Structure 1
Amino acid sequence: MQFDYAYMLGLFPILLKYLGTTMGMAVIGMMFALILAIIIANIRIFKVPVLNGICQLYISFFRGTPLLVQMFLFYYGLPQLIPVLVGINAFTAAVIALTLHFAAYMTESIRAAIIGIDHSQMEASLSIGMTTSQAMRRIILPQAARIAFPSLVNYFIDMIKSTSLAFTLGVAEMMATAQTEASSSFKYLEAFLAVALIYWAIVVILTRIQLFTEQKLNKAYQR
């Protein structure tokens, strides 16, 4: 069989209709993952009793098990033990899995960025009457954000690509659409190459944005 360029080009409008679903999962997952990662990073830094141990166990589990298994666990497994989760839809289950999975990785990046800030910054903040929480919020975290920014963008890019696993739960996103189109036409190469090119384009755009933003953030620190 010859490669059907016309068929592949015709797939792009169809696949792009579901770009909103793909990006929606990634953006929502990233927002909640970032909030969770900041909270856990602070618990780990200040070694909060009991919570620190729980957070270490959480990080170990979600970094040590595949994302696909976690998606199945939230969508198919947990409703057996927690009846209230029976009504959870596939989109929500996928977002929860993405959030918890990537928060476990982002926690360590944020923690390393915070630790990388000179301790004198905290001491100076406390000496002028700030509380520890005020110093973290106003002085430490803004500086740590610049350090952690490149790795956080990389995690966001990885999260966008990982949304393709949501089709296994029945979420109608780009990968699921490509699979459906390929199955109906038997033109698997054209369908999967089309969706691959879309993901690639998204990553290239985000990488350019990342580099531009890094230059802006680092401009004040250049001599």
Structure 2
Amino acid sequence: MNLDPSFIWTAGLSLLQALPETLWITFVSVAAGLVIGTVVALCRMYRIPVLSQLSAAYVAFVRGTPMLMHLLLIYFGLPVVIDGLSAAMGWSFTSASIPLIGFVWIAFSITAGAYMSEVVRAGIQAVDKGQVEAAQSIGMTTIQTLRRIILPQALSVSLPNLSNSVIGMLHGSTLAYTISVVEINAQAQIVAADNWKYFEAYIAAAILFWVLTILIERISGWLEYRLNAYQRGGTL
């Protein structure tokens, strides 16, 4: 087999067509996962009855099963639930109304939520308890303490781990091809299928993922610097 360097460039240009889909999968999954993870972490830390136990079971199950399994369970299981409810309630909405990427968003958000809950929980635990006690002593409610004292500092502490989660979700987006969502990995297969130059196509895909990963690391480093400067009393 002879390597065709020119086709790597050609394939790379073609892969850019699938870049928006990959970025959407990553962004939506991470954003929704961060919200889910924060709620789950707070439920566990404040030991809210029932919700605390459900949250612990959710985290244990998701972290103990593969990401691909989550996608397949949602893809095959959610339509059964939606169509059953639609038939029982007389709704016009069915699983056929959900775009394929919608299943990916739901599954990957559930996955990200479990992992990010541990990141958020660790960040909250890193905040000095003295600050929390000081906030409560001046009459701040729990919600105010979380919003003004705990969560901003927890975000700063958790940023390196959060950036790792973003990178992990970016790489995990390649699993979306299993349900026919055309992201970078699937596009590489499509490009290579015409002339069987799979090696060159996958090199182009690897380079693209590498560049995206470097960008995420640089953005994360910049945000971490700015947040730390702000907390030291500097200006943003």
TM-score (norm 2): 0.90
130-139 or 78-87, which moves further after superposition? 78-87
Q: Which residue in 1 is equivalent to 2:159?
A: 149
The secondary structure found in structure 2 opposite 1:17 is: helix
Question: C-alpha distance in 1, partners of 2:179/2:61?
Answer: 21
Q: Specify the code of the residue in structure 2 equivalent to 1:161.
A: H
RMSD of the alignment, in Å? 1.5
2:131 to 121, 129, 138: 121
| Residues 2-17 of structure 1 aligned to structure 2 (within 5 Å) | 2-17=2-17
| Residues 99-138 of structure 1 aligned to structure 2 (within 5 Å) | 99-138=109-148
Q: Which residue in 2 is equivalent to 1:198?
A: 208
| CA-CA distance at 1:162 after TM superposition | 0.6
For the pair 1:33 / 2:33, whether they are aligned, the reply is yes
For the pair 1:43 / 2:43, whether they are aligned, the reply is yes
* Structure 1 segments unaligned to the other structure (5+ residues): none
Question: C-alpha distance in 2, partners of 1:110/1:8?
Answer: 40
Number of residue-to-residue matches in the alignment: 222
Question: C-alpha distance in 1, partners of 2:122/2:7?
Answer: 48
Q: Which residue in 2 is equivalent to 1:86?
A: 95
The secondary structure found in structure 1 opposite 2:49 is: coil
112-121 or 41-50, which moves further after superposition? 112-121
2:106 to 91, 96, 106: 96
Asked if 1 retains the 8 angstrom alpha-carbon contact of 2:22 and 2:184, the reply is: yes
* Structure 2 segments unaligned to the other structure (5+ residues): 87-93
Q: Specify the code of the residue in structure 2 equivalent to 1:193.
A: I
Question: C-alpha distance in 2, partners of 1:78/1:27?
Answer: 22
Question: C-alpha distance in 1, partners of 2:140/2:227?
Answer: 25
| CA-CA distance at 1:80 after TM superposition | 2.6
Q: Specify the code of the residue in structure 2 equivalent to 1:69.
A: M
2:168 to 158, 178, 186: 158
Q: Specify the code of the residue in structure 1 equivalent to 2:25.
A: M
| CA-CA distance at 1:221 after TM superposition | 4.2
The secondary structure found in structure 2 opposite 1:20 is: helix
The secondary structure found in structure 1 opposite 2:194 is: helix
TM-score (norm 1): 0.95
| CA-CA distance at 1:218 after TM superposition | 2.6
Question: C-alpha distance in 2, partners of 1:81/1:113?
Answer: 36
Instruction: Map Cα deviations across residues 116-149 of structure 1 (whole Å, 9 max, x no partner).
Output: 1121111111111111111111111111110011
For the pair 1:177 / 2:192, whether they are aligned, the reply is no
Find runs of 4+ consecutive structure 1 residues off by over 4 angstroms. none
Question: C-alpha distance in 2, partners of 1:190/1:176?
Answer: 14
Q: Which residue in 2 is equivalent to 1:65?
A: 65
Q: Which residue in 2 is equivalent to 1:207?
A: 217
Q: Specify the code of the residue in structure 2 equivalent to 1:29.
A: S
Question: C-alpha distance in 1, partners of 2:222/2:80?
Answer: 47
Question: C-alpha distance in 1, partners of 2:64/2:100?
Answer: 23
Q: Specify the code of the residue in structure 2 equivalent to 1:4.
A: D
The secondary structure found in structure 2 opposite 1:185 is: coil
Q: Which residue in 1 is equivalent to 2:90?
A: none
